Chains A and B, each alone.
Chain A
Amino acid sequence: MNARVNWVGYKTIVHKEVTRILRIWAQTVVPPAITMTLYFIIFGNLIGRRIGDMGGFDYMQFIVPGLIMMSVITSSYGNMVSSFFGAKFGRHIEELLISPLPNWVILAGYVTGAMARGIMVGLLVMVISLFFTRVEVQHPLVMVSVLLLTSVVFAMAGMVNAIFATKFDDIAIVPTFILTPLTYLGGVFYSISLLPEFWQKVSIFNPILYMVNGFRYGILGVSDVGIVYAYIIMGVFAISLASLCLWLLHRGTGLRS
């Protein structure tokens, strides 16, 4: 009985989230596709030709995994934070809070919705990249698992942000001041072997470096970090953030008075 209620409830949240993503496609799917196309043209094509090889690949090929990962990260995070905070701000989160659904189903539903947008945008960017370069996937399982894990991690990070946010400014602070710098410094556009030793050591504390390189390993077969470390880091973040989200939902932080 409960399993059926939870399953239908989960499907309903996912359906609602995906409907929302598709209804406002001009805000959710198109902007990252345009931004990434510009990156491919400017960095990959125009500037990339002068840069030459990086990590044994031409620059355009090198940045493809990083740009896909960047769009997955921002889309998963952005979807969760805007949808969950929007529901909180408009008080329709109460529809879920008064329902019999346990917190883990609410979390799973919203995370799946955010992943749906992350993956949708990631696939779109991958298709766009095919207009600029050839992409041969070396380790498909690694590629898919890193994509899913990264999406899960940033969806849950988005929920934590949404739970604590009290105004719309609060949901812009983390992406602007934390997420964007970490992503740009996470090896999207360069191999950390190009950095001075000190900055290489600093970079290894950036979790996004492991996600970008894990994904790059899946597509190109090269990485600046050990793939096992990448999985461990993503796993630790996924478990920690899931526990934190469930604890916050249980306490009702920012949701129940």
Chain B
Amino acid sequence: MHALQVNNLTKTYANGVEALKGVSLEVEEGDFFALLGPNGAGKSTLIGIMSSLVNASSGDVRVFGTSVQQQRSKAMSYIGLVPQELNFNQFERPLEIIVNQAGYYGINRKIAHERAEKYLRQLQLWDKHDKMSRFLSGGMKRRLMIARAMVNEPRLLILDEPTAGVDIEIRRSMWEFIREINESGTTVILTTHYLEEAEELCRNIAIIDHGKIVQNTDMKSLLGTLDIETFVLDLKEPLSEVPQVEGMEFKLRDSSTLEASLPKRKSLNSLFSSLDSAGVRVQSMRNKANRLEELFLRMVDKGTTT
């Protein structure tokens, strides 16, 4: 069954901005789905329409077969949303915020308290449950929104940049939590600017740019299309001339840092032996960007230039 079906969705705002230009998309039940795109590509508008915060100009969105436009209440009962911007009352306490949110889904206060405690504990926020939420740190506020989105135990969890501005340790613990939620059967749609996050977590991916889907496939196939990888090499001794090797491209960043681009079919051994015979000594090496990031930039660049 499809957790989400988006059919030919368009959105033109009152100021004339065409945010979505006929977007169609399907997300299978149980999937961990990445929705990526540069700023202003239409991701948040699309999520806004899914969660009924934005009215579509035309087209249809169905959540587990239920139309958001025709049967809003039923469709919304399936969804949990973690928005990009903080949208809870900063003068309320985390426990109060989550219990009230549960009430809006018809969950009585006793069960709501139990669930609030469960999710606040899982997200390491229980010791702050009675603290005024405006005093929480940025990372805690983001986790609070995840706990709030989970209180109705949604079948579809939508996360719009949930880890923005969160330090790496907290980010990784949030990944773990979301992965567990997905493994327990909840469909997850994630937008993020941290592409390693999408690569790490998601099985399927759509890239949106200028209001259109420019790529919609599974992560493995997408990464499989990456034909050239670029590495950054820190050199032992400074270099004045760029080495010339057939089938590989080199660029000097500075005298001790060399960028090497080589086709995926070539092994790293061939790179090192070529450099060795050119008299270049390598101290250390790293990927210039993560694989998905390279593909993403290429696709978005293509969208911009066409």
Complex CA–CA separation, A16 to B93 (angstroms) = 12
Stretch of A54-62, A91-99, A167-175, A212-220 at the chain-chain interface: A91-99
Q: Is the CB of B76 within 8 A of A95?
A: no
Stretch of B99-107, B171-179, B220-228 at the chain-chain interface: B99-107
Judge whether A191 is part of the interface by a CB distance below 8 angstroms. no
List residues of chain A with CB within 8 A of the CB of B53: 94, 97-98, 256-257
Stretch of A2-10, A27-35, A232-240 at the chain-chain interface: A2-10
| A1-39 vs B, Cβ < 8 Å mask (1 yes, 0 no) | 010111111011101100100000000000000000000
Residues of A within 8 A of B (CB): 2, 4-9, 11-13, 15-16, 19, 87, 90-92, 94-102, 252, 256-257
| B37-55 vs A, Cβ < 8 Å mask (1 yes, 0 no) | 0000000000010011111
Q: Is the CB of A90 within 8 A of B76?
A: no
Known contacts: A97-B53, A257-B13. The answer to whether A92 contacts B103 by CB under 8 A is: no
Known contacts: A5-B106, A91-B87, A95-B104. The answer to whether A256 contacts B73 by CB under 8 A is: no
Complex CA–CA separation, A16 to B99 (angstroms) = 10
Complex CA–CA separation, A79 to B42 (angstroms) = 36
Count chain B CB atoms within 10 A of each CB in A7, A16, A97, A99 and give the residue with the most.
Answer: A99
Report 23 cross-chain contacts, Cβ distance below 8 Å, ordered by A residue: A2-B73, A4-B106, A5-B106, A8-B103, A8-B106, A9-B103, A12-B103, A12-B104, A15-B100, A87-B89, A90-B89, A91-B85, A91-B87, A92-B88, A94-B53, A98-B76, A98-B81, A99-B104, A100-B73, A100-B77, A256-B54, A257-B48, A257-B53
Complex CA–CA separation, A8 to B111 (angstroms) = 12
B residues 39-94 near A (Cβ < 8 Å) are 48, 51-55, 72-74, 76-77, 79, 81, 83, 85-90
Complex CA–CA separation, A90 to B55 (angstroms) = 20
Q: Is the CB of A94 within 8 A of B104?
A: no
Residues of B within 8 A of A (CB): 13, 48, 51-55, 72-74, 76-77, 79, 81, 83, 85-90, 96, 100-101, 103-108, 148
Complex CA–CA separation, A12 to B79 (angstroms) = 19
| Known contacts A5-B106, A102-B73, then 15 further A-B pairs from the complex at CB < 8 Å, ordered by chain A residue | A7-B106, A8-B107, A9-B103, A87-B89, A91-B86, A94-B87, A95-B101, A95-B148, A97-B52, A97-B53, A98-B81, A100-B73, A100-B76, A100-B77, A256-B52
Among A6, A16, A94, the residue within 8 A (CB) of B100 is A16
Among B54, B87, B106, B148, the residue within 8 A (CB) of A9 is B106
Q: In the complex, what's the smallest C-beta–C-beta distance from B132 to chain A, in angstroms? A: 11
- Which residue on chain A has the smallest CB distance to residue B11? A257
List residues of chain B with CB within 8 A of the CB of A15: 100, 103
List residues of chain A with CB within 8 A of the CB of B52: 97-98, 256
Known contacts: A4-B106, A8-B107. The answer to whether A95 contacts B73 by CB under 8 A is: no
Q: In the complex, what's the smallest C-beta–C-beta distance from B157 to chain A, in angstroms? A: 12
Complex CA–CA separation, A257 to B104 (angstroms) = 22
Complex CA–CA separation, A98 to B48 (angstroms) = 9
Count chain B CB atoms within 10 A of each CB in A6, A87, A95 and give the residue with the most.
Answer: A95
Complex CA–CA separation, A13 to B89 (angstroms) = 14
Q: Is the CB of B87 within 8 A of A95?
A: yes
List residues of chain A with CB within 8 A of the CB of B90: 90
List residues of chain A with CB within 8 A of the CB of B87: 90-92, 94-95
Q: Is the CB of B76 within 8 A of A257?
A: no
Among A2, A91, A96, A252, the residue within 8 A (CB) of B104 is A96
Q: In the complex, what's the smallest C-beta–C-beta distance from A40 to chain B, in angstroms? A: 33
List residues of chain B with CB within 8 A of the CB of A95: 87-88, 100-101, 104, 148
- Which residue on chain A has the smallest CB distance to residue B75? A100
List residues of chain A with CB within 8 A of the CB of B72: 100
Among B55, B73, B79, B107, the residue within 8 A (CB) of A257 is B55
Q: Is the CB of B83 within 8 A of A94?
A: yes
Complex CA–CA separation, A9 to B103 (angstroms) = 5
Known contacts: A87-B89, A90-B89. The answer to whether A98 contacts B107 by CB under 8 A is: no
Known contacts: A92-B87, A257-B53. The answer to whether A100 contacts B100 by CB under 8 A is: no
Q: In the complex, what's the smallest C-beta–C-beta distance from A9 to chain B, in angstroms? A: 5
List residues of chain A with CB within 8 A of the CB of B86: 91
Complex CA–CA separation, A7 to B85 (angstroms) = 29
